[in-house]
Structure 1
Amino acid sequence: MAMSPEDVAALLQREGSGLSPDAYDETPQPDAARQQRTEALAGILESCQQSLQQGSGQLEAIANNLGDGSRDVAWRLPYGESGILNFFLEILGAQGVGHGVKVHALRIVGNSCADTDENRARVVEGNHLTSVIRQLQDDELIPYAIPVLYNILVDYEPAQKLASQSGLNTQLISLLASPNLPRYAPLVTYFCKILALLITQDGEADVASPITVQVLLTLATGPLGKDDVDEFMALVSTAASYLANETFQSSFITGQQMDVFMTAFYLAHTHFDSEQLEDEDTAKLLKRLRTALLTTLADLSGNDAFVTYYPLNSSVPQSLLAWLQGANPQLQSAACLTLGNIARSDEISLALVQTHQAHRPLINLLSNPAITDAQQLHSMLSFLKNLAIPAQNKPLLGDLLEDTRVPRILTLDTLPQVQFAAVSLTRLLFVNCPPNVRLICAPRNTDPSEQPNEHTSVHDIISLFGRSDAEPTKLEAARSIASICRVLHTTPVLPLLPEWDPSQDGYVFEPKEPLPPSVENGSSDERESRMRGLFYQKHDLSKVLSFLVTQQKWPILRSEAWFVFALMSRSKDGASVVASTLVNAEATDALARAITGQALVTNGDEQTKQIESVASVAGSDTAAITDGLGLEPQQVDPKQQANMARVDRENCLVLCTEIVKNSGSALTSAQLGLLQDLIRQGTDMISQEKAQG
């Protein structure tokens, strides 16, 4: 006998748990309880089938009671095992079924699938998901269908995969873009949750609507998102999830949709104050969203197509330049990161400095001692590093080398990553740039009435090298010093270094041009050597420079150092510095390896015998040995690493020969003999190579 709706309601109440979903725990239930409930539903299923066949009006009432009963967790599995769930899934796919029945069918499906993988599997394996998705075509069913879809998909990957393949994204985006959106606006967060699940599936980017991100961000930046922080975060975070996919990144850029992203980014940092949000969890989510958006902005601006569709005069770069001028540290950091990604060509870097003056606000910020935030400082310095690469920009960025700007960052030992960025930028600024070397070698500014201050930023670099435990930082500091030495030995020193002023009987760090008549004696080379010598007396470079040739990780940088050493050794002052560098046993060993390919013998009597054997040639003219080879200092081409060993040998022979010639009298007999022996071995090897070549 068919059961009435009242009978159904009574059975469900009598046999149910009577507990809320949060309070129900199936564990202490008797083993037979679920089976008993499943069997009890057989009569209800039969009544549903009869009512459907007869077309009576009772099906809607029974479905309503089953929908109410499905809120009891105890009925979830029995609904699936008894066939009740499958019956109403088929109802959703049938034609001519009343609207009311479908509403309750959706309730039954949604509640039965909540946290119940067995029932979710029944939906997927029976290919019923498309029937549920089809209900989105009915505006009145959307408020029911959306939560049902979420319950089926959440935490169940097979359903997510099928939903993606079934084109659920397109349906949802179409609804979000519809003028009817206000009718189901309260469900927008569920739309976003479902979309966030879909994008985790392989192939979703290929089948999803190409306007997905644009629609989400448009809603986020409109009244719907701006008026509610939760709605805003749901929409923007979902958009960011899709933009993590390279396919969407490319289409977003080529579709020139970046402006709406920039608006969303700006609102995330200015419209909502994470410090003033009452809910602590919401505040944390907002901070997390900001981090995600920064990653997304970096990915987008790092795309090769970005600069094509967004040249510097277009809206997006102009917004970034405006952020640099503003007062929001997070926007400034984001602008630095993005513009740094854009500035990957000399053409753009030159325009950013010479046309758009992008470095000006950063100079002001770096001058502010109150700014110690690691992210802000690091982003500024990293951006400036890109701007400092083109040779034409270096002199224009020289103001950064004022002691209250980048040099002050070198003293921030609590921010090692920032220190590294600062010393890297410093090095770039005076690579082959005499005007900037002049600045770095100048003393601290002092009151004219006070005694001259002999402390320079070069001292700060040397000090950082000594204090830092980070090998990359030590390396950049050492490279910086080598770059200074290279400029000092390839450019007239007169405009670069401070002078000796006899009237004050002191070293005056206030360059004057030209030299006063009182010191106009001797040749130009002698004057330059004397001025460099005074500079080297004030700055002990031996430990810093020896690090470059003793480190093993970067052979190309060791080769660069040998080249600089060879340049320096051609003058008495430079040769003295290189000789002091080679006092380090490891540096001498590196020199021997570069010339002969073998290390020096360093153990006891054998070393003594070696030194004694070469000391006997101390008085010979080793310069004549290498003159015939016509060797000159030469820089290694990183693209021709196969020639690195040959170039290193020749540069090291040049420096050995020049040290013997320019500083031989200051060397011990053992040191002098060792250099001469290396010269003989090296020239023999080069002669043999040429003969064989």
Structure 2
Amino acid sequence: MLVSFAREFHHLAEALSGSQTLEEGLILKLASTIRGDVCDEDTVRQVLEMLADAARQVEWRDIFGQAGLLATCSHSLHPEEPENTLKQKLRLIGNCCADNDSNRDIVIETECYEKLTCVTTAALPLQPLVMVVIFNFMNEYEPAQRHAFKHGLVDLVTKILHEEDKNQPLAIEYALRCLELVLQSDIPLGDKASGLITLLLGWATYPTIQFDIFYIILSCLLALHKEEYTEAFNSDPSPVLNYIKLMARLQYWEDQLSNDPELPDEIDKEDVTRLIRGSRSSTITTVSEISASESFQDQFPTGSAFLNSIVQLLASSDSTLLTCAALILGNMARDPETCDALIREYQPHLSLVNVLKEQTQIGVLHAVGGALKNLVIGSPAIRESVIQAGILQYCHKFYLASVMVEVQHMGLSLIRILVAASPGNAECLFLPLEHDASLSAIEHILQLYAKNTEVPIRMEIGRIVVSILREAAKLPSTHPTRISLQHKTSDMSPLILEPVIDMLIQDKWPVVASEGWFALALCVQTPRGASAVADLTLPERFFQVLRQAIYQKSDRSNFPELTPPEKPRPGPEHLDSKASTQSQKDRENALMFLSGFLKHNTSEAPRNYTTLLQRFLDGQEVTDALIKETLGVN
């Protein structure tokens, strides 16, 4: 202890180490010393150091705040004062603010925060300490967080992230922690957000970044992934490059943690796993949104270095990179011109089929299926080459994704589109699978039908059957493929036609029901087809909807034809017209079904079916009671 200090404050050390009280006279002398009124610089520094050390204890923080010492220190803080003195003042302020809201209010009232931000520029060596002080001030106290935000915290963090050496992480860590506090408070960032995202992505993808900093960055990015913030990338999609790199870093850290699970004490492994998975999900969503923007194709046209690298990612074994690559390609494949250009340049449909061969991860399947579907819709000429590439050997992976109905539906929808306008592809559905010669692709699909109760899935399976029947009917009656398809379909009855009956008896999608009437009308135009229908166990509801179709007394008349959501919906008058036209087609197809079945059926069909169907064709009344009586329903 210096003599000059001992002479004036001989009992300060004793007071600070004893009971938590300070005499009024001592408080006045301490305040004077902190201001530098009567003591030399070295004495001021030593007093401040003793007070800062004492403020590590919770009890002293309240006393220093109530005694006015914290306010005095805040008022007297000047960026230009000697670094050692400034350091101890920062320590005293920071320690007093730790878990003490009343002291934080003092910092706000004395406008100390504004001075702290000046110190970061005037005394660069103290920048890490200043950020720790600001963190203590803001931590778990929303008024302090809002005060810091109002007085330029985001600009301060941005400045530090731009300037700080990545190998000097303390200032970075606490700057990020402060930003995280603001983001967790849902304080709107406005136009500052997109710049922050870009900056954070740069840090997150830096190869030697420490995990504790990477962890905070992920938390910040997750909070920033809101539509109002990321929509800025619709006009400037360049950050997608770093998002792709981020996906690789996420996988790197996940692998590192699984091999070496040691983490800092304050970080829980379950929290890390949850954060990484959440970050991956939000990153994929953001990449999808950016790549769907109109400006994306302008900045990254076919043949660009970036798009070349995206296509090359399809050869990766990293499921997250594969997902991103497939999403980007799928979003680009929105019009025939782009699809044709992509196929000419890259043949991506073949690479995507190969991904299906190697991958089972649901997210990858969903993205790849969507990309293939868009490419086939945009460039129908590739249908045959996609089938030839072996997609039917791997489509069962879609069907096994029972935890995600959207993936099952994606796979089925893709099959339906591949069969459309391609009788050859339809016939391929009946060929034995390489991995299980006892099954064909259509049998795999019908197994899914038998096990699945989801109505959209069952409807899509029915639509595949309709596509098969339609493609067969397009060919001349003597064409070998037509004959083959008709024989194979009838040989698989009744199971293959049950989904068609499901299409008819549902009342949610009239257009789907109309497809069912069309399919039944086609099916019974041959004796084999009529016999296949005769093998069905037709439910009571079937005869009720048959009656509705024929007599046009439909309880579904208020269900207009489905209109894709992205197209303007027509007015009521147009809807009524379309519904009327569709009802007339349904009636015609239902009558064709009746006449075709009664004419061509040569099997020992149940007499009750034949009786009811004949009454319908003859225009006789068929009541619910008669249907029940004829079917033997109680």
Question: TM-score band (shorter)?
Answer: 0.7 to 0.9
**C-alpha separation in 2, matches of 1:576 and 1:41:** 106
CA distance in 2, matches of 1:411, 1:182: 46
Partner of 1:473: 457
Deviations, residues 63-84 of structure 1 (Å, cap 9, x unaligned): 2211011001112222222222
Secondary structure in structure 1 of the residue aligned to 2:320: helix
Maintained 8 Å contact 1:67/1:107: yes
2:444 aligned partner: 460
Which residue number in structure 1 is paired with residue 372 of structure 2? 384
Residue in 2 aligned with 1:300?
Answer: 287
Change (3 A) 1:649 1:571: farther
Aligned to 2:604: none
Alignment match of 1:218 (pick from 198, 202, 208): 202
Equivalent AA in structure 2 for residue 229 of structure 1: F
The CA deviation string for residues 555-582 of structure 1, in whole angstroms up to 9 with x for no partner, is: 3322333344455556665566567669
Between 1:83-92 and 1:398-407, the stretch displaced more is: 398-407
Contact 2:416–2:467 (CA under 8 A) maintained in structure 1: yes
Matches within 5 A, 1:98-497: 98-137=82-121, 138-178=123-163, 181=165, 184-200=168-184, 204-206=188-190, 208=192, 211-222=195-206, 224-225=208-209, 228-244=210-226, 246-251=228-233, 254=236, 256-270=238-252, 273-279=256-262, 285=272, 288-289=275-276, 291-303=278-290, 304=293, 305-368=295-358, 371-390=359-378, 391-399=380-388, 403-407=392-396, 409-410=398-399, 418-444=407-433, 456-492=440-476, 497=481
What CA deviation, in whole Å up to 9, does each residue of 1:55-114 have, x standing for no partner?
52243332221101100111222222222222222222x576443333222212211221
- List aligned pairs for 1:1-12, cutoff 5 A: 4-12=8-16
**Secondary structure in structure 2 of the residue aligned to 1:673:** helix
State the distance in 1 between where 2:126 and 2:539 align: 82
Query: Given residue 262 of structure 1, which amino acid in structure 2 is its aligned partner?
Result: I
Change beyond 3 A, Cα 1:199–1:430 = same
Q: Which residue of 1 is the match for residue 507 of structure 2?
A: 552
Residue from 596, 610, 616 that aligns with 1:668? 610
In structure 2, the partner of 1:503 is none
SS of 1:104 mapped into structure 2: helix
Match in the other structure for 1:688: none
CA contact (8 A) 1:274 1:286 kept: no
Q: SS of the counterpart of 1:677?
A: coil
Structure 1, unmatched stretches of 5+, are 17-36, 448-452, 498-527, 601-634, 682-693
| C-alpha distance in structure 1 between counterparts of 2:109 and 2:617, whole Å | 83
Per the TM alignment, residue 459 of structure 1 is displaced from its structure 2 partner at its CA by 2.4
Distance (whole Å) between structure 2 residues aligned to residue 6 and residue 252 of structure 1: 68
Partner deviation per Cα, 1:256-276 (whole Å, 9 max, x = no partner) = 243333333323324763321
Asked if 1 retains the 8 angstrom alpha-carbon contact of 2:511 and 2:562, the reply is: yes
Residue 586 in structure 1 maps to residue 541 in structure 2: yes
Q: May I ask how many residue pairs the two structures share in their alignment?
A: 584
Q: CA deviation at 1:155?
A: 1.4
Whole-angstrom distance in 2 between the partners of 1:418 and 1:488 = 28
- Say if 1:651 and 1:223 are closer, same or farther in 2 by CA, change over 3 A: closer
Give, in whole Å, the separation in 1 of the partners of 2:372 and 2:153. Answer: 45
Provide the rounded CA distance (Å) in 1 between the counterparts of 2:90 and 2:98: 12
SS in 1 for 2:576: helix
Q: Distance in 1 between matches of 2:590 and 2:167?
A: 85
Residues 586 and 42 of structure 1, relative CA distance in 2, 3 Å threshold: farther
Inter-CA distance 409–201: structure 2 relative to 1 (3 Å threshold): closer
1:3-42 equivalences in 2 (<5 Å): 4-16=8-20, 37=21, 40=22, 42=24
CA contact (8 A) 2:197 2:221 kept: yes
Give the distance between the partners of 1:599 and 1:415, measured in 2 at CA.
Answer: 34
| 2:593 match | 659
Check the 8 A contact 1:164/1:201 in 2, yes or no. Answer: no
Q: CA deviation at 1:248?
A: 4.5
Does the aligned pair in 2 maintain the 1:205–1:245 contact within 8 Å? Answer: no
Q: TM-score, normalised by structure 1?
A: 0.74
Of stretches 574-583 and 251-260 in structure 1, the one that deviates more from structure 2 is 574-583
Question: By how many angstroms is 1:311 displaced?
Answer: 2.8
Q: Which amino acid aligns with 2:139?
A: V
Change (3 A) 1:477 1:248: closer
Equivalent position amino acid for 2:310 in 1: L
Pairwise CA RMSD of aligned residues? 3.7
Query: How far apart, in 2, do the equivalents of 1:568 and 1:645 lie?
Result: 24
Distance 1:66 1:637 in 2: 73
| Residue type at the aligned position of 2:190 | D
Task: Tell me: CA distance 1:177–1:154, structure 2 relative to 1, closer, same or farther (3 Å).
Answer: same
Per the TM alignment, residue 494 of structure 1 is displaced from its structure 2 partner at its CA by 5.8
Q: 1:414 to 1:306 in 2, by over 3 A?
A: closer
Give the deviation of 1:47 after TM superposition. 1.5
**2:275 alignment partner, SS class:** helix
Paired residue for 1:562?
517
Q: Which amino acid aligns with 2:426?
A: V
Distance 1:210 1:282 in 2: 29
Quickly say closer, same or farther: Cα 1:378–1:599, change in 2 above 3 A.
Answer: closer
**Which secondary structure does the structure 2 equivalent of 1:394 belong to?**
helix
Query: Shift of the alpha carbon at 1:650?
Result: 1.1
Helix, strand or coil: the match of 2:508?
coil
Look up the equivalent residue of 1:653 and give its one-letter code.
R
Letter of the structure 1 residue corresponding to residue 503 of structure 2 = L
Write the distance in 2 (CA, Å) between the matches of 1:470 and 1:128: 62
Distance 1:89 1:313, change over 3 A: farther
Contact 1:381 1:425 in 2 (8 A): yes
Counterparts in 2 of 1:254 and 1:358: CA distance versus 1, 3 Å: same
For the 8 Å contact 1:576–1:659, the answer to whether it is kept is no
SS at match of 1:273: helix
Matched position secondary structure for 1:547: helix
- Corresponding letter in the other structure for 2:369: L
Q: Is the 8 A contact 1:435 1:496 kept in 2?
A: no
Q: Deviations over 1:388-429 (max 9, x none)?
A: 333334333223665522146546768866544322322222
How many Å separate the matches in 2 of 1:412 and 1:257? 32
Output the CA distance in 2 between the equivalents of 1:123 and 1:491: 84
Q: What residue identity is the alignment partner of 1:593?
A: Q
Q: How does 1:613-632 map to 2 (within 5 A)?
A: none
Distance 1:183-1:587 versus aligned 2 partners, 3 A rule = closer
Partner Cα distance (1:63, 1:563) in 2:
90
Q: CA deviation at 1:436?
A: 1.8
- Distance in 1, Cα, partners of 2:519 & 2:583: 14
